[in-house]
Amino acid sequence: TQLLEQSPQFLSIQEGENLTVYCNSSSVFSSLQWYRQEPGEGPVLLVTVVTGGEVKKLKRLTFQFGDARKDSSLHITAAQPGDTGLYLCAFRLSGTYKYIFGTGTRLKVLA
Amino acid sequence: GAVVSQHPSWVICKSGTSVKIECRSLDFQATTMFWYRQFPKQSLMLMATSNEGSKATYEQGVEKDKFLINHASLTLSTLTVTSAHPEDSSFYICSAPGLAEGDTQYFGPGTRLTVL
């Protein structure tokens, strides 16, 4: 059973459009991370959210952690072709260094 | 920042052969490393935890006799895919955690295995 469900699974949009990716679970997390992965490479950490309701911005990317710390969203403003990639949310199992990844959202931004 | 390397970056082998993949922490020590498998267009699935000086712990459904893990030093973990079959073809990624509470983990660049 995948503990973290992401939606949508796939998204193809035109350059300049906005989009939101969701990461949902029935479990409560102490923190949650977002990664971007490009083909043939390892994931790269974008952000860690810790506090319920927290909002973090990274240039055109806005990350939000749900008030109940069960869900998170990633909003991209004015998407660019360079944003193309696989977006993954992940959480760390309490008391371990193990990270469990969400199902992933594959984004393609067309020029 | 911390760097994790993997070798080889890609490998093609015949069915029935064994393949060894190395994961190294280049500028820090890692008593624990993780191995993930990623099928095309899918997310990362944790396979096992590699523990320096002791046996690896495997996730449910992962065959420990098929995926041999050895963590012989504080900077090296190896994953050997034994008697590889085409269904083992995948992208294998290792990672090592940061040292402090709340630290992220550092991912290697991955190894693409293709079994013919």
Residue A106 pLDDT class (50, 70, 90 cuts):
very high
User: Does pLDDT of A2 surpass 70?
Assistant: no
Residues 85-114 of B with CB under 8 A from A: 91, 93, 95, 97, 102, 104-105, 107-110, 112
Which parts of chain B register pLDDT below 70?
1, 99-103
Q: Is A73 helix (H, G, I), strand (E, B) or coil?
A: strand
Q: Are strands B10-13 and B111-115 parallel, antiparallel or unpaired?
A: parallel
**In angstroms, how far is CA A26 from the centroid of its own chain?**
17
Per-residue confidence (pLDDT) for residue B99, from 0 to 100: 66
- A101 touching B, CB under 8 A? yes
Count CA atoms closer than 13 A to A66's CA, side-chain side. 14
Q: Do A98 and B44 touch (CB under 8 A)?
A: no
CB–CB contact A42 B93 (8 Å): yes
- The pLDDT confidence band at residue A30, using thresholds 50, 70 and 90, is confident
pLDDT tens-digit readout, A87-102: 999 988 877 888 889 9
For residue B33, give the 3-state DSSP assignment. Answer: strand
Query: What pLDDT score was predicted for residue B97?
Result: 87
Hey, are the CB atoms on B46 and A31 less than 8 Å from each other?
A: no
What's residue B1's pLDDT? 66
At residue B5, the pLDDT reads: 95
Q: H-helix or E-strand containing B4?
A: strand B4-7
Q: List, as one string, the DSSP characters of B59-109.
A: -TT--TTTEEEEEEETTEEEEEE-S--GGG-EEEEEEEE-SSTT--EEE--
Query: A28 pLDDT exceeds 90?
Result: no
Contacts of residue A42 in chain B, CB cutoff 8 Å? 4, 93, 95, 107-110
- Residue A110: count of CB within 10 angstroms of its CB: 11
- Can you list the alpha helix ranges (DSSP code H) found in A1-111? none
Mutate to test the interface with A, among B9, B26, B43 (most CBs of A within 10 A): B43
Beta bridge partners of A11: A107
